[in-house]
Structure 1
Amino acid sequence: MKFKQQLVSLAILAAVGSAAFAQSGETVKIALIDPQSGLMGPLGLNQLRSFQFFADTFTKSNAAGVKYEVVGFDNKLSPAESLNALKAAMDQGIRYIAQGNGSSVAGALIDAVNKHNERNPGKEVLFLNYAAVDPDFTNSKCSYWHFRFDADTSMKMEAMTTFMKDQPDIKKVYLLNQNYSHGQQVAKFAKENLSRKRPDIQVVGEDLHPLAQVRDFSPYIAKIKASGADTVITGNWGSDLALLVKAANEGGYNGKFYTYYTGVTGTPTALSTGGAGRVYQIAYQHYNMGGPMEKWMADFKKRYNDDMFTGSVPHIFTALSIAMKNAKSTDPVKVAAALEGLKTNSFNGEIELRKTDHQIQQTLFLTVWQKADKKYPYSPENTGMTLAPVKTFEPYVASTPTSCQMKRPS
Structure 2
Amino acid sequence: MNQSFIWRRQALKFAASALCAAALPAVAQGAAAGPIRLALIESMSGPFANTGEAVFRNLLWAVERVNARGGVKLPGGARRLELVRYDSKGQNEEALSALRAAIDDGARIVLQGNSSATAAALLDAIDKNNERDPQRRVLFLNYSAVDPVLTNERCSFWHFRFDAHADMRVTALMDVVKDEAALQRVYLIGQDYSFGQAVLRESRRQLGVLRPDVQIVGDELHPMGRVKDFAPYASKILASGAQAVVTGNWGNDLTLLVKAAREAGFNGSFYTFYGNALGAPAAIGDAGIGRVIAVADWLPNVQTAASEDFYRAFRTRFPKPSEDYVHMRMQLVIEALAQAMERAGSVDTVAVARAMERADVTLAGQRGRMRAADHQFQQQLVVGVMDRQGAPGVKFDVEGSGYGFRVVKTVAAERAEMPTICRMQRP
- Per the alignment, residue 201 of structure 2 pairs with 188
Q: Which residue identity does 1:306 align to in structure 2? A: E
- Per the alignment, residue 228 of structure 1 pairs with 241
What are the superposed Cα offsets for residues 337-364 of structure 1, whole Å, 9 maximum, x if unpaired? 0011322323353211100000000000
Identity of aligned residues (%): 39
Q: Measure how far apart 1:26 and its partner are.
A: 5.5
- Per the alignment, residue 284 of structure 1 pairs with 297
Q: How does 1:11-410 map to 2 (within 5 A)?
A: 27-61=35-69, 64=73, 65-289=78-302, 290-291=305-306, 292-302=309-319, 306-347=323-364, 349-373=366-390, 375-409=393-427
Task: Structure 1 unaligned segments of length 5 or more: list them.
Answer: 1-20
TM-score by length of 1: 0.91
What are the superposed Cα offsets for residues 290-329 of structure 1, whole Å, 9 maximum, x if unpaired? 5252233222333786113222221111101111111001
The structure with more radius of gyration = 1
Q: Which residue identity does 1:307 align to in structure 2? A: D
Contact 1:99 1:131 in 2 (8 A): yes
* Separation in 2, partners of 1:77, 1:348: 34
Q: Measure how far apart 1:57 and its partner are.
A: 1.7
- Per the alignment, residue 15 of structure 1 pairs with none
Moved more, 63-72 or 353-362: 63-72
Distance 1:267-1:393 versus aligned 2 partners, 3 A rule: same
Task: Structure 2 unaligned segments of length 5 or more: list them.
Answer: 1-27
Contact 2:325 2:399 in 1 (8 A): no
Secondary structure of the 2:203 match is: helix
Distance 1:348-1:399 versus aligned 2 partners, 3 A rule: farther
Q: Which residue identity does 2:381 align to in structure 1? A: L
* Separation in 2, partners of 1:357, 1:33: 23
Moved more, 341-350 or 100-109: 341-350
Q: Measure how far apart 1:67 and its partner are.
A: 1.1
* Separation in 1, partners of 2:278, 2:322: 12
Q: Which residue identity does 1:393 align to in structure 2? A: V
* Separation in 2, partners of 1:116, 1:25: 23
What are the superposed Cα offsets for residues 103-125 of structure 1, whole Å, 9 maximum, x if unpaired? 11000000000000001112110
Moved more, 272-281 or 237-246: 272-281
Secondary structure of the 1:381 match is: coil
Secondary structure of the 1:382 match is: coil
Contact 1:348 1:363 in 2 (8 A): no
Secondary structure of the 2:174 match is: helix
Q: Measure how far apart 1:229 and its partner are.
A: 0.9
* Separation in 2, partners of 1:341, 1:201: 42
TM-score by length of 2: 0.87
- Per the alignment, residue 15 of structure 2 pairs with none
Secondary structure of the 2:374 match is: coil
* Separation in 2, partners of 1:132, 1:197: 26
* Separation in 1, partners of 2:380, 2:79: 28
* Separation in 1, partners of 2:256, 2:233: 11
Runs of 4+ in 1 over 6 A off after TM superposition: 21-25
Secondary structure of the 2:362 match is: strand
- Per the alignment, residue 10 of structure 2 pairs with none
Number of matched pairs: 389
Moved more, 39-48 or 303-312: 303-312
* Separation in 2, partners of 1:149, 1:26: 27
Distance 1:132-1:37 versus aligned 2 partners, 3 A rule: same
Q: Which residue identity does 2:343 align to in structure 1? A: N
Q: Which residue identity does 1:206 align to in structure 2? A: D
Contact 1:260 1:281 in 2 (8 A): yes
Distance 1:371-1:42 versus aligned 2 partners, 3 A rule: same
Contact 1:284 1:348 in 2 (8 A): no
What are the superposed Cα offsets for residues 6-41 of structure 1, whole Å, 9 maximum, x if unpaired? xxxxxxxxxxxxxxx979996211111010111111
Secondary structure of the 1:42 match is: helix
Contact 2:332 2:363 in 1 (8 A): yes
